[in-house]
Structure 1
Amino acid sequence: MIVSHKNRFIFLKTRKTAGTSIEISLRPYCGPDDIITRITEDDGDGIVPGPQNYLFPRADWPQAMAARWDKGWRPGAKREDLKGIGYFGHVTASELRPRVGAAVFDSYFKFSIERNPWDREVSMYFFKFKNEAKKPTFAEYIAGAKDIGNWDIYSIAGEVVTQAIIRYDRLADDLAKVTSDIGLPPVQVLSQAKSGFRPAAARDYRAMYDSRSRDLVSRLYAREIEHFGWQF
C-alpha cells in the first residue's frame, strides 16, 4: 500500500493481482513523507525508497486493527518494529480512511487492481502450496476455500471508492492510463515479483476446474463477477 502525499495518490494493494510488482514500480516516484508499507519482513533490499512512515503508536490504532497487525507481522517482526504498529500491505479502504483523514483520502486519486476470480484462485493455490511436497488437489482446495476476494480493499460499505481499478488482464494499458492521470511518467512493470509458482499446464485457468469448483467460485465472488463482468 502506498499513500503518496508528493503525488496525491493512494494505491490500495490487492491479493494475487501483481500488486507487489506495481508497488515496486511506483516506489521510485515517492517522496520522503509518503507512506510505503513493507512487502516482506526483509524489505529494503535495494528497492528505493524502502518501507517508510508506516509505524505509529499502538494507542492510535483501533483494537481490532491492532489484532490484525499482531497476527500479520509480530511473529517475525524486527526488534525496532515492536515499539509500534501500523499500516500493512493489504489494508482496506475503510481501515485507511480514518487513519489518514477524510480530507486526504477523499481528495487523493485512489486506484487498485483486480483479477478474474477464477484465474486468481488458481494463482493463489499454487502460491499457497509452493513449498508443500503434498498438497490438496485443486478441487479439494476450492471446496474448502474461504473468501480471499479484494472487494473490501477498494470499497467501503459495498461501494467502490477508487477512481480507477486496473484490470490484471490489461495490466500495461490500464497502468499507463493511471500513471498519466496522476502525473507520473510511464511506469513499466518489468516482472511479476511473486510469480513463477504456477506450472505451464495451468496457465489456462479453465483447465483446473470442473463444473462444481467453477460454480463454487462463481458463488463466492458473485459480487465482483457482476461488477466487473468477469466470465469463466
Structure 2
Amino acid sequence: MIYLNKENMVFLKPRKVAGTSFEMALSRFALNKDIVTPISPDDEQERKNLGFCSCQNYLDQNGKQIFNNHISAADAKNKLERSIWEEAEKCAIVRNPFDVYVSLFYYHNGREADISKLSDWYLGGRGTSYLGVNHKQYFIKGEMIIDRFIRYENFEEDILELEKSVPSFKGLYDTFRNIKAKSGVRSNASYELEAVYSKHPDLKSEIGRLHSFEITNFGYTVL
C-alpha cells in the first residue's frame, strides 16, 4: 500500500499484477509524511538504489506495524484517517483472473511446477486460501471501492492516462517500465490459458463464478 498526500491517492496492492513494480514507481513521488509499506528485502534495496522513498510511516508510535504490503481495503479504511479515506482516490491494478491463478500457482510451487496439479492445489490444497484473490483490495462487504483500475494488459495506456489526470505523476510510466521487481521468482513457463483450463473445467467454473466482476467489467476470458 502507498498513500500519497499531494496526489491524494491510496494505492491498494493486489497479488500477481506487477504490483511491486508499480508500487516502487509510485514511491518515487512519495514525500516525508506519505505512507510507503515495506516490500521484499531485494526489492527494497533496489528501491533505495533508484533513489526512491523507502518504507516509512507504516508503524504506530509503539513500533507495531499497522499498514502492510497487501493490506485489505477494509483494514486500510479502518486505519487511515477518515478524511483521507473518504477524499482520496483509491487505485488498484486488475488482471485477467484466469491468468492470476496460473501465475500464483507457479509463484508458490516453482517455475517447473506441474500445471496438471492446478485444480488439486486450488480446490483441495494450499491454494484454497487464494480463491477470490484480490477482492479484499477491491471490495468492502461486497461494495466495490476502487475509483481507478489500471489494467495489467494495458499498463501503458492506463498509466499515461493517470499522468494526464495527475500532472505531478509526470514520468510515472517511464519509471514503471524500467523496473522489473521480483524477476527472480516469476515463472518462466509459457502457457496458453485455453489449453490450461481445458484440463481444469471445475476450477475454470469456480473462477468464473468468483470473478464475475472482472469478467463482466473488463471482458476477461481464458482465450
Fold match by TM threshold 0.5: yes
Identity of aligned residues (%): 29
What is the aligned partner in structure 2 of residue 13 from structure 1?
A: 13
The DSSP-based 3-state class of the residue aligned with 2:28 is helix
What is the aligned partner in structure 1 of residue 95 from structure 2?
A: 115
1:10·1:111 contact (CA, 8 Å) conserved in 2? yes
User: C-alpha separation between the residues in 2 aligned to 1:99 and 1:143?
Assistant: 33
Q: Deviations over 1:18-76 (max 9, x none)?
A: 11010011111110110000012566414121100000157xxxxxxxxxxxxxxxxxx
User: C-alpha separation between the residues in 2 aligned to 1:57 and 1:224?
Assistant: 39
1:142·1:216 contact (CA, 8 Å) conserved in 2? no
User: C-alpha separation between the residues in 1 aligned to 2:166 and 2:89?
Assistant: 7
Q: Which amino acid aligns with 1:90?
A: H
What is the aligned partner in structure 2 of residue 77 from structure 1?
A: none
The alpha-carbon deviation at position 200 of structure 1 amounts to: 4.1
User: C-alpha separation between the residues in 1 aligned to 2:220 and 2:115?
Assistant: 28
Q: Which amino acid aligns with 2:7?
A: N
User: C-alpha separation between the residues in 2 aligned to 1:133 and 1:224?
Assistant: 27
1:2·1:37 contact (CA, 8 Å) conserved in 2? yes
What is the aligned partner in structure 2 of residue 125 from structure 1?
A: 105
User: C-alpha separation between the residues in 1 aligned to 2:74 and 2:87?
Assistant: 15
User: C-alpha separation between the residues in 1 aligned to 2:46 and 2:213?
Assistant: 39
What is the aligned partner in structure 2 of residue 185 from structure 1?
A: 170
User: C-alpha separation between the residues in 2 aligned to 1:133 and 1:103?
Assistant: 46
Structure 1: which 5+ runs fail to align? 59-82
User: C-alpha separation between the residues in 2 aligned to 1:129 and 1:8?
Assistant: 38
The alpha-carbon deviation at position 105 of structure 1 amounts to: 1.2
The alpha-carbon deviation at position 109 of structure 1 amounts to: 1.9
After superposing on structure 2, the runs of 4+ consecutive aligned residues of structure 1 that deviate more than 6 Å are 131-136
The DSSP-based 3-state class of the residue aligned with 1:112 is strand
1:92·1:153 contact (CA, 8 Å) conserved in 2? yes
What is the aligned partner in structure 1 of residue 202 from structure 2?
A: 212
The alpha-carbon deviation at position 86 of structure 1 amounts to: 1.6
Count of residues in correspondence between the two structures: 207
Q: Where in structure 2 are the equivalents of 1:70-149 lying within 5 Å?
A: 83-130=63-110, 137-144=117-124, 145-146=127-128, 147-149=131-133
Scaled by the length of structure 2, the TM-score of the pair is: 0.82
1:198 to 187, 192, 211: 187
2:37·2:67 contact (CA, 8 Å) conserved in 1? yes
What is the aligned partner in structure 1 of residue 142 from structure 2?
A: 158
User: C-alpha separation between the residues in 1 aligned to 2:93 and 2:104?
Assistant: 15
2:106·2:113 contact (CA, 8 Å) conserved in 1? no
Q: In 2 relative to 1, CA 198–208 (structure 1 residues): closer, same or farther, beyond 3 Å?
A: farther
The DSSP-based 3-state class of the residue aligned with 1:139 is helix
The CA RMSD measured in Å over matched residues stands at: 2.4
What is the aligned partner in structure 2 of residue 224 from structure 1?
A: 214
1:93·1:155 contact (CA, 8 Å) conserved in 2? yes
The alpha-carbon deviation at position 168 of structure 1 amounts to: 0.9
